[in-house]
């Protein structure tokens, strides 16, 4: 019986994977991968390795989580080394944990290999720190998605507004303006600085700086950073990129 490694591929730059993650890709018998995994990493797989794409376009079709779980199980019965490759970190808004729970319940050994999460890497590329001494000492990584069963957001942005210095929003493109409104209702001023990084590390990457009050349409996938730390990052960015 094989082992399943649940690996973070990093945020899109193929160099931002761990050595352990890369070594596993290079030795895997089978690799099951997502939409945001860089192609350059897949090209490091052995020629005989089986590569299975399980991603979906936003709102489009793709295998269900149950189907992915069963696929990983069946591959582990057949092969020695199975790699489940997630964009960013497998445990930050990936389904890596659920996959490992499922595999463990069926007697398959699995292991996590962390990755560089997009919510930290995309801002860092543009000199924006999640925390910075004197400006921000707490950060929350949150999802902008709604809970389909409840029809409201999974995160209480009004309460969050008062509780942390920096808010990093994943999966917030479709509801960016509603989230901004909730944060302002929660007490954040409309001139609170915001950075939006769309398709970080990919060819169509777009960075912009705005404010909560000025936030307009955001293209998926995007990381949205809210907080005073954005301002400090922008000053450094300007000094360096002039």
- Which chain residues interact with ligand SAH by CB under 6 A? 11-12, 36, 86-89, 92-94, 117-118, 122, 170-171, 197, 199-202, 220-223
Q: Of 14 and 135, which has the nearer Cβ to ligand SAH?
A: 14
Rounded to the nearest whole angstrom, what is the least distance from the CB of residue 113 to ligand SAH in the complex?
13
The distance of closest approach from Cβ of residue 118 to ligand SAH in the complex, given in angstroms and rounded to an integer, is: 3
Least distance (Å) from ligand SAH to the CB of residue 205?
7
Nearer to ligand SAH, 53 or 202 (CB): 202
Q: Which of 1, 20, 56, 147 is catalytic?
A: 56
| Closer to ligand SAH by Cβ: residue 118 or 229 | 118
Active-site entry in 29, 71, 89, 171: 171
- What is the C-alpha to C-alpha distance for residues 45 and 81, in angstroms, rounded to an integer? 12
Task: Clarify whether 80 is annotated catalytic.
Answer: no
CA 39 – CA 188 distance, rounded (Å): 40
**Residue with the CB atom nearest ligand SAH in the bound state:** 88
- Is 150 one of the annotated active-site residues of the chain? no
| CA 138 vs CA 30, 34, 120: distances in Å | 39, 30, 13
Q: Establish whether 1 is a catalytic residue.
A: no
Question: Which of 143, 72, 149, 64 has its CA nearest to residue 110?
Answer: 72
Closest CB to ligand SAH among residues 100, 223: 223
CA atoms of 179 and 144, how far apart (whole Å): 7
Annotate 188-208 with DSSP letters as a single string.
--TT-EEEEEESTTSTT-EEE
Of 29, 34, 71, 89, catalytic: 34
CB 225 → ligand SAH: shortest distance, Å?
11
Q: Between vectors from CA 86 to CA 82 and to CA 90, what angle results, nearest 5°?
A: 100
Question: Which residue in 76, 39, 72, 28 sits closest to 54, CA to CA?
Answer: 72
Q: Provide the 8-state DSSP code for 85.
A: E
Calpha distance 150→195 (Å, rounded):
29
CB of 90 to ligand SAH, least distance (A): 6
Nearer to ligand SAH, 79 or 157 (CB): 157
- Which residues are the active-site residues? 34, 56, 171
């Amino acid at each position: 019986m094989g082992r399943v490694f649940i690996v973070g591929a990093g945020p899109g730059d193929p160099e931002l994977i761990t050595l352990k993650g890369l070594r596993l890709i290079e030795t895997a018998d089978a690799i099951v991968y997502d939409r945001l995994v860089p192609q350059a990493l897949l090209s490091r797989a052995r020629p005989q390795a089986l590569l299975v794409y399980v991603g979906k376009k936003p709102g489009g079709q793709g295998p269900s989580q149950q189907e992915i779980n069963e696929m990983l199980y069946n591959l582990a019965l057949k092969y020695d080394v199975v790699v489940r490759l997630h964009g960013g970190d497998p445990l930050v808004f990936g389904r890596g944990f659920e996959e490992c729970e499922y595999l463990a319940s069926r007697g398959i050994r699995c292991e996590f290999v962390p990755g560089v999460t997009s919510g930290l890497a995309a801002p860092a590329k543009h000199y924006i720190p999640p925390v910075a001494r004197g400006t921000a000492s707490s950060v929350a990584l949150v999802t902008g998605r709604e809970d389909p069963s409840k029809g409201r957001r999974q995160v209480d942005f009004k309460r969050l507004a008062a509780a942390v210095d920096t808010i990093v929003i994943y999966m917030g493109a479709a509801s960016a303006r509603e989230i901004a409104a909730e944060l302002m209702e929660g007490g954040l001023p409309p001139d609170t600085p915001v950075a939006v990084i769309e398709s970080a590390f990919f060819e169509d990457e777009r960075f912009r700086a705005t404010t909560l009050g000025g936030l307009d349409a955001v293209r998926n996938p995007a990381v949205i950073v809210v907080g005073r730390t954005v301002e400090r990052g922008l000053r450094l960015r300007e000094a360096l990129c002039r």
